[in-house]
Structure 1
Amino acid sequence: MAEVRAWVAALAGALALTLPLPASQAHPPAARATSSAAPVVHTRAGAVRGSERDGYRIFDGIPYAAPPVGALRWTAPRPAAAWSGVLDATRPGSACAQPAGEVPGGSTSEDCLYLNVTAPAGASAGRPRPVIVWLHGGGFTSGAGSSYDAHRMVRGGDVVVVTVNYRLGALGFLGLAGLNGSGTFGLADQQAALRYVRENIGAFGGDARNVTLAGESAGSYAVCAQLASPSAVGLFQRAIMESGPCTGGPARPFAPFSVAPPAAQAAGARLVTAVGCAKASDVPACLRRVPVARLLAAQGADAQPEHGTGLLPRAPAEALASGRTARVPVLVGANHDEGTIWAAGIMAAGTTVTPGNWPRVAWEFVPDPARSGEVVRAYPVGATDGGPVFGAVIGDANYACPTLRTGSLFAAHQRVWRYEFADPDPPRPLPAPPPFPLGATHTTELPYLFDLGGRAREMTVRQHRLADTMIGYWTRFARSGDPNGGGAPRWSHSQVQSLAPDSTGPVRPAPGHHCGLWATMP
């Protein structure tokens, strides 16, 4: 699998989700006054002033923890300092340090532990609304909560949505022997944000006793990790996981996964050597003096949380299989064509897939090369369909079938609602035209729930109806643990719900996927 890992690393930047952020990311260093007509909310740390929009309010750049800078680099998140006056919450805080990609130009900021709250107008009065806390994807190396404009979900579902920044890459997931919190700083940040929500969301009109933790891709895997974490117990009451199964592992490297201490510490040792701290008498102190830009240049193209730790004692897959995850209602699914975006990137980088070379390509990318012949027979390549077939292999192995397995394991202990997003022609996830139609590939369900980067994607009337249906499902699940109602097609927890324009409804498990084959692979 070494060649596969190299491909994933080489493509990580090219396949970063295109979510342009607002031009200004920097939160002001001190509170400053804004218009007196803007909404003001009083949190435990101080007052914040946001913005009033058409039917909703948004409060951006609220610090939920102290900046993890200097001696606080690679320590557990600490409470944010209180302030006097009114904090300007009209623009996002800085994105956490990351290479250029989703965040234009990247970021070198460590002062990044901010969250954003979007609430219905008038939500602070009357009955409290359900709360959805959203964890962004990006392979644990990129992304920002402010990329996800949630106003359609807030207005359509009458919920409060919180989007979160958390430490990324080496700054969030450094594995180092003897370092307290090794490999889990980003996960600890997410728990700090959930504690902030529990203590403060009532001021924004949210119900602190009805919190749904949701995420996509790496954000979805982070939800898995929080379900498996003893220190997250009680911080949320429901879970939504999009395109990030709990059963990932290094044999399926296109999906997120966690690693054991030896692997985490080996990666950490490589970073220590690369930045010149290997011979230091105090390695953590040396690392804390290294400039962020140098750390970013030295870190790997992907990052994984570390299990076998205090925060994450077991790998999420192990915890799930043994029934040691939080018993909360779960909504979980994947997209029909998850793998095509990776196949397109690999082919754009020079790999072709033809009937003649398909056995060799399959041998390089199959978890068990000795069984690549079975894969070739199950996924035959014709003269013109090499890319889609290659994408089907990547998608089935890394997403569709592990997601089906994840849902089945959860269903042994709790109520589970399973979906497959299957719009064959969704808004394109990347700006450049792909070499072949991508279908419902990785990330393509997101524009149906959010305005990514603050921009609504162009959709047909049928797709807008699907977006409304999905927002209804997601927010009703957040309200009661059951997505049904609102006149939407009935969703049975015993079946997979296909989400497609004008054809939403139950389908047999893993439609069009070869999950029997992948179930017997490593």
Structure 2
Amino acid sequence: MANLGTSAVCTAIFISILCICYAFGDFVVVSTTSGDVQGYQFETSPSIGSPAFDHIYIFKGIPYAASTSGKLRLRPPQDPTPWEGVRNATRFGEKCAQRPSIYPMQPEAAPLYGEFLGYANNSTSASEDCLNLNVYTHDVSVLANQAVMVWIHGGGFTSGTGSSYPGEVLAAHHNVVLVTFNYRLGDFHSLQTLEEDAPANFGYLDQIKALQWVQTNIRNFGGDPEKVTIFGESSGSQSVSLLVMSPLATGLFHRAISQSGVWILPGRQVGDVAATETIASAAGCVTTPYGDMMSCLRGKSAEDILAAGRPGFPLPVVDGHFLMDAPNNLVKKQQLNKVDYLLGTNNDEYGWMLSITRGLYADGMTAAEFQAGLPYYLFFVGLTYPKGNMSVLIPAVIQEYLGSVDKDDPFVVRDQFVQLKDDVGFVASTVLMAETQSAQSVRVYQYEFQHRSSIFPFKPDFVRAEHMDELFYVFGIPLLRQDAAWKLPFTDQERDLSLDIMAYWVNFANNGDPNDFSGAARIRDSADWPRYTPSSKAYLKLNLTSSADVELREKRMNFWNEVVPKLMGGGEDITSAAGFMQVSTTSGDIQGYEFDTASSIGSPAFDRIYIFKGIPYAASTTGELRLRPPQDPTPWEGVRDATRFGEKCAQRPSYPMQPEAAPLYGEFWGYGKNSTSEDCLNLNVYTHNISALANQAVMVWLHGGSFTEGAGSSYPGEVLAAHHNVVIVTINYRLGDFASLPTLEVDAPGNFGFLDQIKALQWVQANIRNFGGDPEKVTIFGESSGGYSVSLLVMSPLATGLFHRAISQSGAGVLPARQNLVRKKQLNKVDYLLGTNNDEYGWMLSIRNLYADGMSAAEFQARMPYDLFVVGLTYPKGNMSVLIPAVIQEYLDSVDTDDPFAVRDQYFQLKYDVGFVASTVLMAEAQSAQSVRVYQYEFQHRSSIFPFKPDFVKAEHLDELFYVFGIPLLLHDAAWKLPFTDQERDLSLDIMAYWVNFANNGEPNDFSGAARLRDSADWPGYTPSSKAYLKLNLTSSADVELRGKRMKFWNEVVPKLMGEEDITSAAVKMSWGFWGFPILLACFLCNI
């Protein structure tokens, strides 16, 4: 939790002991892989009560990695530079660069915690040359084979140092080697980069590097590299839990101890460099291009980075390197290193030092104050369950904690509030980890530390053992002599408690059993510590008189670990990964991830799918490759990360979106997300089966966006792939001027965006079998300009054989330079499903200021030259003065022209017919004449999620996309602000099934390749004689001759009026008309 490293924990344990410990005698020299180091012998008796050994050896400030400044900043740690001669290891190295703690210490605590933890009193300076460690041992013989305990300090991942924790007492009392070390903190630890080998988690990689050093060197200090225990407190304890989850740490340690902290939150997804860009900007660096930003950041001083940085609690990154999946998924799936685990909490973690509500304590807390604090304190629960509804969780929490107590008693309410914070922040995650690890048949021991130390008389009476109180006892501080100088008057009983705890910890490190005293002196008749098992749930209450118990906070743990996940819907995001999967491509191997479907998608056919993102299908189109045909991508060695989307193609900002629509369209289509680049020719694959023998149908999506904007990554393929036996591919292609500017090159003088689409389809042919797809069963589908692209690929000889079926949604290209191909039926003979929505220009695409009061007949006529511009392109020798009166006659002759609403409706029917329907019907007519299967539709359902749209608006442009991509089937729709109805869910199931059936068999009614989800309407084929189509609605039905009279007007009458001239000789150097589409040049369509 964000407060795990608060208060005094944010630095580490005391420097003052160093004054006591510096009365050393002889020096000792030990060899390491980087060179020899000279430590010193420390006499124990003058400073430590009843030590087992009269002297120990201490080595300080040994480098385990190189400085991380300059070019090595925000990079994985590198080996230290070897040295010649003997390196002085008698003084601590520098601590890692950090800001002062953001958690101010209570004035009464400063003389105790401050002196003990070295708060603001650490004599070492801060630096980026800080990756050093310290070793405490009583025997440096390589044959000593002592257990090794490696301490990971706390401090909220923002402050602290290993040197603040004294290892003298543990090493003097027990047969153990103690190692403490530093690791990078704050922004130096947590900022993300786009480097492939290690883009994040630098502090954790430092911890891995330190453990590697231990494996290589610790035998020379008397330690056994086969008997290494990691232990830590607060954020150090969370680090321990993350190392238990990391494949990089496998074999580097053998047991683990977590004190007050286990990480089971989701973590951040890799590739989010927004924080890096923010810091770079604050530090005076450019943020683009990326390489220049990183060079600038690495050139700044550590002080500059600290000054530019931001406070906060760094989250681990699911990078496919240190963490292969979100921590909560790893715990749930028991994908953990199988090591013995001792873990626990204190019984009042938030009692006083960590509380942010200290001002409320004296007089208690009201029930209203309890409720007011919940959104803040339940923030991390929201992270764990991102699709959950906090408005459901908060009342349940109030009922759980206040339902059975006197809410009018402010002290009772206060106590319940602190218990709530303990449970959420520490206990629930610790119990869940104990449960998970014990299920792997390794030894697990749980504790609750309950003793309120006598050295804190100033704390309120209601405070018990709070955060970090156990540290005094783990490190043997009550056994130090001259306590008066420390102002720490521990009692004899507390001295015994410290002896017990040290013995338990060392016994566990030695043998995996805290009760096995064969490797340590049994100091007194300590309580037997029962093992935690899934059935016993036993734990030890650590106190002056310790005792065993079972099921720590049983009712509350059941609430947090069983009830809350159900309340919040299971907790996995639509993008959360479950495991990783490698696949080979012609350019190299890639690693995608396994996605669990059940927690995010309603009633999926498959409980998991595999997702591969950002796969290059062509090289970057920058520099000499700009305005040239796409080239093969550069092959790579090793395994390329394919767990995050690639950049979208360079484009201008989107058309402004209506304010009411932004929360819907914007959140679904990812408006404003993904950075842009010319290195953008990448694609994404969604599949439930990667067997080369799976032979699934393949559907390749071409995104819309007027050929000027958009990205394949904005369209989620998860639902289609989870519900059907199909492989979904979404692609990027060049846009705007990068796609359409003509050149004088002979091989390809234009159409670069369309050539990108051809290149992507060639990639599919060469690679899709390795993703479970059948290259002989490829369907292309797209909407708007993506639908136009589909129709153009149907016309292009370059696309012949690259796909076998086609679906055009709201777009078919039969304007100049294509119309001849359609009329002459010079098309690829592929099955074709195509259609429109019944109000394409209803609201989003319209000229909205005409809506409120309708339109006059004069306004209708005044707009004709503009709205019929595209018709003029189609018939460049025609006479617009002949066309316009005919259009006015066709649309206004049979309506009351004095009714502005009737005129308005006719105007938008005209725009609909000209912009979409006429070309779609013409394409259906032409393709069906080639004896291939054709299916036409009109989507008619006005979605319930658009209550703000005017009543006269029906199904407009884009509306069918929600249903094609299964958005109504996503769970937790409230978080999407998309409250679809059950009927709309059924409609989405129907449409997805129709589309996939067509892709599988060329027949939307053939459910042999998909489950028939309800009694769907039969969809008749379109033939030149039947002209049948399906009206897609909540209750769909078939009909014939869509807008028959109007289609006859546009496709038969108008061509005669305009002379129907062959335009193949025309020098077409103009835009397409509708939305400014790019021109089509001869190498792509051979009939210009």
Q: TM-score, normalised by structure 2?
A: 0.37
Give the alignment partner of residue 316 of structure 1, picking from 811, 818, 828: 818
Amino acid at match of 2:687: A
| Contact in 2 for aligned 1:32/1:86 (Cα 8 Å) | no
2:695 to 128, 133, 138: 128
Residue by residue over 1:439-495, the C-alpha shift from the partner in whole angstroms, topping out at 9 and shown as x without a partner, is: 11111110001267x968432111111110110010011011111133532111031
The amino acid that maps onto 1:458 is: P
Quick check: 455-464 or 136-145, which moved more? Answer: 455-464
Residue aligning to 2:934: 416
In structure 1, the residue matched to 2:893 is: 377
State how far apart, in whole Å, the 2-side matches of 1:184 and 1:71 are: 17
Cα distance between partner residues in 1 of 2:956 and 2:785: 15
The letter for the 2-side match of 1:176 is T
Structure with greater contact order relative to length (CA < 8 Å, sep ≥ 6): 1
| 2:1030 corresponding residue in structure 1 | 497
How many residues align? The count is 429
The Cα shift of 1:32 comes to: 7.2
* 1:168-224 residue CA offsets vs partner (Å, 9 max, x unmatched): 000011123446422311111111101111111111111111111111111111111
Other structure's SS at 1:188 match: helix
For residues 686 and 694 of structure 2, what CA distance do their matches in structure 1 show? Answer: 16
Residue aligned with 1:210, SS: strand
Unaligned runs of 5+ in 1: 1-21, 250-314
Between the aligned partners of 2:841 and 2:749, the Cα distance in structure 1 is 31
- Structure-2 separation of matches of 1:46 and 1:124: 18
CA pair 372-229 structure 1, distance change in 2 beyond 3 A? closer
- Matched residue of 1:41: which SS? strand
Equivalent runs, 1:40-59 vs 2, <5 Å = 40-53=582-595, 54=597, 55-59=608-612
The alignment status of 1:476 with 2:1006, answered yes or no, reads no
Q: Does 1:400 align with 2:933?
A: no
Alpha-carbon distance in 1 for matches of 2:675, 2:905: 35
Q: In structure 2, do the counterparts of structure 1 residues 218 and 162 end up closer, same or farther at CA, with 3 Å as the change threshold?
A: same
Q: Say if 1:449 and 1:471, in contact at 8 Å, map to a contact too.
A: yes
- Distance (whole Å) between structure 2 residues aligned to residue 199 and residue 320 of structure 1: 30
Query: 2:851, 2:272 → 1: CA distance?
Result: 33
C-alpha root-mean-square deviation of aligned residues, in Å?
3.0
Which string of whole-angstrom CA distances, capped at 9 and with x for unpartnered residues, describes residues 355-405 of structure 1?
Answer: 553333346534432424313225655243554332211001221222112
Q: Deviations over 1:84-138 (max 9, x none)?
A: 2221111111110111127417855101000000111x34265221000110111
Counting only pairs closer than 5 Å after superposition, residues 101-500 of structure 1 correspond to structure 2 as: 101=654, 103-104=671-672, 108-120=676-688, 122-124=689-691, 126-178=693-745, 180-249=747-816, 315-341=817-843, 344-347=846-849, 353-355=855-857, 357-362=859-864, 364-366=866-868, 367=871, 368-374=883-889, 375-378=891-894, 382-413=899-930, 414-425=932-943, 427-428=945-946, 433-434=948-949, 437-450=952-965, 457-485=978-1006, 486=1012, 487-494=1015-1022, 495-500=1028-1033
CA deviation digits over 1:277-334, x for unaligned, max 9? xxxxxxxxxxxxxxxxxxxxxxxxxxxxxxxxxxxxxx33321221211111111111
Of 489, 514, 522 in structure 1, the residue corresponding to residue 1046 of structure 2 is 514
Check whether the contact 1:99–1:107 (CA below 8 A) recurs between aligned residues: no
Looking at structure 2, the residues matched to 181 and 386 of structure 1 have their Cα atoms a distance apart, in angstroms, of 46
Contact 1:337 1:442 in 2 (8 A): yes
Structure 1 pair 398–32 and aligned structure 2 pair: CA distance change class (3 A): same
Q: Distance in 2 between matches of 1:123 and 1:437?
A: 47
1:88 aligns to 2:609 (yes or no): no
CA contact (8 A) 1:247 1:317 kept: yes
Distance in 2 separating the partners of 1:175 and 1:363: 28
Letter in 1 for 2:1032: L
Amino acid at match of 2:940: A
Letter in 2 for 1:390: Y
Q: Is residue 618–residue 630 contact of structure 2 (8 Å, CA) maintained in 1?
A: yes
Cα separation, 2, equivalents of 1:354 and 1:86: 64
Cross-structure match for 2:1072: none
Q: Distance in 1 between matches of 2:840 and 2:1021?
A: 23
Distance 2:674 2:913 in 1: 32
CA distance in 2, matches of 1:86, 1:456: 38
Specify whether residues 52 and 108 from structure 1 end up closer, same or farther in structure 2 by C-alpha distance, changes over 3 A only. Answer: closer
Tell me, what secondary structure is at the counterpart of 1:418?
Answer: strand
AA aligned to 1:392 is Q
Name the SS of the counterpart of 2:956 in structure 1.
Answer: coil
Match of 1:35 among 324, 340, 344: 324
CA 1:351–1:200: 2 relative to 1, 3 Å: farther
Separation (CA, whole Å) in 1 of partners of 2:798 and 2:272: 35
| SS of equivalent to 1:222 | helix
For structure 2, the residue ranges without an aligned partner over 5 or more in a row are 1-269, 275-289, 292-318, 326-578, 598-607, 655-668, 872-882, 971-975, 1007-1011, 1023-1027, 1056-1088
| 1:1-53 Cα shifts (integer Å, max 9, x gaps) | xxxxxxxxxxxxxxxxxxxxx99599x99x97462831221222122111211
For the 8 Å contact 1:148–1:451, the answer to whether it is kept is: no
Quote the Cα distance in structure 2 between the aligned partners of 1:458 and 1:67: 41
Instruction: Name the residue aligned to 1:292.
Output: none
Contact kept in structure 1, 2:997 and 2:1005, CA below 8 Å: yes
TM-score, L = length of structure 1: 0.75
Provide Cα deviations, 1:401-428, integer angstroms capped at 9, x if missing partner.
2211211111100211111111134644
For 1:444 and 1:165, locate their aligned partners in 2 and report how far apart those are by CA, in whole Å. 22
